[in-house]
Amino acid sequence: MSIQLKCDAVNCVYNRSQLCSAEEIEVQGGQTTGGDNTFCGTFNSKSLGNYVSSMGNMNYSGSLKQMVSSEPVMDPKVHCKAVNCTYNSSEMCHADQVAIRNESSHSPEQTVCETFYPQIS
């Protein structure tokens, strides 16, 4: 399953024109029942040290394909620790699209998974 991920956390080392260049990300949230308590645990602020440490999780082939495509082709695997999200199945996100928000974030906890939708009991 391919997930289209749009990210406006422009201060993240993985952000490439609002697309995520990570191979895999992890949305945190634990037992939350509200989306404001979710965040992208993979977020890493832009710095030389973080660029170097993030190299092992880069989607190099997707990044190269993106350079010649006008359509989004970088789609990371989205692991989900927000257990009360309706899209979480065996700790993997099964939403068609994921949106990570907070343009001014400088830490993972300042981002929000806007796609979070609570399970209805």
pLDDT of residue 112: 96
DSSP E strand boundaries for the chain? 4-7, 15-16, 19-20, 24-30, 39-40, 77-82, 88-89, 92-93, 97-101, 112-113
Say which residues have a Cβ less than 8 Å from residue 9's Cβ, sequence separation at least 6. Answer: 15, 40, 43, 100, 101, 102, 103, 105, 111
Which tens digit of pLDDT belongs to each residue from 36-75? 999 999 999 999 999 999 999 998 887 888 888 877 777 8
Nearest to 111 by CA among 52, 53, 35, 54: 35
Which tens digit of pLDDT belongs to each residue from 89-114? 999 999 999 999 999 999 999 999 99
Question: Which carries the bigger pLDDT value, residue 69 or residue 8?
Answer: 8
Token pair of 35, please? 């989306």
Q: Residue 121: pLDDT band by 50, 70, 90 thresholds?
A: low
pLDDT of residue 67: 81
